[in-house]
Amino acid sequence: MTTDNLARLEDLAIVPIDEIEFVTVRLPFVSPFGTSVHTWTCKEALLLRVVSGGLVGWGECVADPDPFYAYETTTTARHVLKDFLLPMVLPGFTLGALMAAFGRVRGHGMAKATIENALLDLAARRERVPLHTLLGYPRKPIMSGISIGLQESIDALLAAVGEAVEAGYHRVKMKIARGKDVEWVRAVRTRFPSLQLMVDANGDYDLVSADHLKRLDGLDLMMIEQPLSYSDIFQHATLQRELKTPICLDESIHSEADAIAAIEMGACRIINVKQGRVGGLLESIRIARACAARGVPVWSGGMDETGIGRAVNIHLQAVDGFTLPGDTSETRRYFQEDIVEPGVVLGPGGFIDISPGAGTGVTVVPERLARYTLERERVQ
Ligand code: OSB
Ligand code: MG
């Protein structure tokens, strides 16, 4: 059934595009988000607006303005989109043919996902169906998870985790870094003995830290996300042999081939699929399928997206294989005001309802978009 979904999506005809525009927005975060690589105080995102026959589709590029999480930035994505990817979007092409053409561009998955997301949003709006229906997966309640950034003190961390538990999230992820790890995780575990808890190091460690990381094994973690380098798979396999806790890869995975290599090598037992990082929804479905065939659960990560990218991540979680809670949290924990309606809220039991509207199911509010826009550029 999944194979048919992919084949059908690859056969989808690209409609003639009347307008293409880049919109750069900057939204302040409610509180800074710190990881082992950087602390972000606002979300600056490159958005792509495509218009066809009076309908508007949006894609959000998950790249940051800096290359600290990934090599792509808002500027490289804009360059690659403008000079290479957008000229490949020709009417009469199928989505599959377009993706094959994109294959000539090496890497730059964040740029590729931006246009793929916008075209799929547009296609779903034309068919008047929600994005998950276009993808071929029925509606279901989406599990919620929260990613808590590095905190100033263990007390502040305990307060943040307490709030997340109170809000009803299905699992809590906490960022760790050298010097803010075992004792910090132990404090959370002691205070919340039955919490579904995991950690994310964003590549802060090396194999020399293996003995130190082993101390996390006694703390009943669901997984340790990306302990070693963003560019490594092999050393993660060595580390996984030493750890009882499953390793989950995030930064290391850019494609289905990476996912298969990592699993077959024993480098991870779980994968964080960020559709915006792996080149879009089609590649994410391929990864989910490859993982399911190998008994590996996947979940949807996030990049602190605005409501546009967040909505896409929510639809992705209707795909088979997304069996673990993702990093999709309520809008209010990121922004005082987002650029779309409706925002994400947790319903009963901590589940997220997929917005039933066509496409992503969210609508950009023009006054809010204007309030947070740094610049716009019409490219077609
Ligand atoms: O490593 O998963 C990550 C945010 C920005 C960059 C990298 C990561 C994250 C998160 C937050 O963990 C996910 C979210 O809340 O959207
Ligand atoms: Mg991560």
Does the Cβ of 14 fall within 6 Å of ligand 1?
Answer: no
pLDDT the model gives residue 336: 98
Query: Model-level pTM?
Result: 0.97
Mean pLDDT of the chain: 97
Please report the sign of the dihedral spanned by the C-alpha atoms of residue 17, residue 19, residue 24, residue 30: negative
pLDDT digits (tens, 9 = 90+) for 234-285: 999 999 999 999 999 999 999 999 999 999 999 999 999 999 999 999 999 9
Nearest to 118, CA basis, from 259, 369, 312: 312
User: d(Cα 380, Cα 378) in Å, to the nearest integer?
Assistant: 6
Q: Are strands 19-34 and 39-52 parallel, antiparallel or unpaired?
A: antiparallel
Q: Is the CB of 64 under 6 A from ligand 1?
A: no
Give the residue-averaged pLDDT of 65-73: 98
Catalytic residue among 43, 112, 173, 175: 175
Whether the predicted pLDDT of 208 surpasses 70: yes
Q: Is 82 among the residues known to form the active site? A: no
Angle between helical axes of 307-316 and 281-293 (0-180°, round to 10): 30
Classified as helix, coil or strand, 21 is strand
Interval 153-187: pLDDT, tens: 999 999 999 999 999 999 999 999 999 999 999 99
- Read off the pLDDT of each residue in 142-152 and give the average, rounded to a whole number: 98
Beta bridge partners of 153: none
Smallest CA-to-CA distance from 147 within 180, 176, 187 is with 176
Q: Are 151 and 380 in contact (CB under 8 A)?
A: no
pLDDT band at 4 (very low <50, low <70, confident <90, very high): confident
Residues recorded for the chain: 380
Report whether residue 301 contacts ligand 1, using a CB cutoff of 6 Å. yes
Which of 158, 145, 155, 219 lies closest to 188 in space, CA to CA?
Answer: 158
Here the tokens at position 124 are 């779903």
Phi, psi dihedral angles at 87 (to 5 degrees) = -65, -15
Atom of ligand 1 nearest to the CA of 313: 16
| CA-to-CA separations, 178 to 41, 206, 213, 228, in angstroms, rounded | 22, 10, 10, 12
Q: What is the mean pLDDT of residues 286-300?
A: 98
Question: pLDDT-derived band of residue 328, with 50, 70 and 90 as boundaries?
Answer: very high
Of 194, 200, 183, the residue nearest 146 (C-alpha) = 200
Ligand 1 atom closest to residue 226's alpha carbon, by position in its atom list:
1
Whole-Å CA distances, 136 to 198, 312, 328: 31, 14, 21
The atom number, within ligand 1, closest to the CA of 305 reads 16
Report CA(230)–ligand 2 centroid distance (Å): 10
Instruction: Count CB neighbours of 107 within 10 A.
Output: 15
Query: What confidence category does residue 91 fall into, taking pLDDT thresholds of 50, 70 and 90?
Result: confident
Going by C-alpha positions, the residue among 325, 249, 315, 232 that lies closest to residue 287 is 249
DSSP assignment, residue 357? S
Tell me what pLDDT residue 2 has: 47
Question: To test the ligand 1 pocket, which listed residue (304, 306, 316, 328) has its Cβ within 8 A of the most ligand atoms?
Answer: 304
pLDDT of 3 reads: 57
* Ligand 1 pocket test target in 29, 41, 204, 303 with most atoms within 8 Å of CB: 303
Q: Which residues surround ligand 2, an ion (CB under 5 A)?
A: 200, 225, 250
Average pLDDT over residues 337-341: 98
Q: Does ligand 1 come within 6 angstroms of the Cβ of 276?
A: no
* Mean pLDDT within 102-116: 98
Ligand 1 near 199 CB (within 6 A):
no
What are the two backbone dihedrals, phi and then psi, of residue 86, each rounded to the nearest 5 degrees?
A: -60, -40
What's the gap in Å between 149 CA and the centre of ligand 2?
Answer: 11
User: Rounded CA gap, 161 and 174, in Å?
Assistant: 8
- Report CA(140)–ligand 2 centroid distance (Å): 25
Indicate the top mutation candidate among 327, 328, 334 to test ligand 1's pocket, ranked by most ligand atoms within 8 A of CB. Answer: 327
Q: Which two tokens stand for residue 326?
A: 């993702």
* pLDDT exceeds 60 at position 307: yes
Q: What is the pLDDT of residue 367?
A: 98
Provide the 3-class DSSP secondary structure of residue 270. Answer: strand
Q: How confident is the model at residue 12 (pLDDT cuts 50, 70, 90)?
A: very high
Report the alpha-carbon distance of residue 177 to residue 108 in Å, rounded: 27
Say if CB 84 and CB 248 are below 8 A apart.
no
Query: Would you call 175 a catalytic residue per the annotation?
Result: yes
CA of 19 to the centre of ligand 1 (A): 31
Q: What percent of the chain has pLDDT over 90?
A: 98
| Identity at 25, one-letter amino acid code | V
Closest CA to 38 of 152, 158, 177, 173: 177
**CA–CA–CA angle 219, 222, 227 (5° rounding):** 85
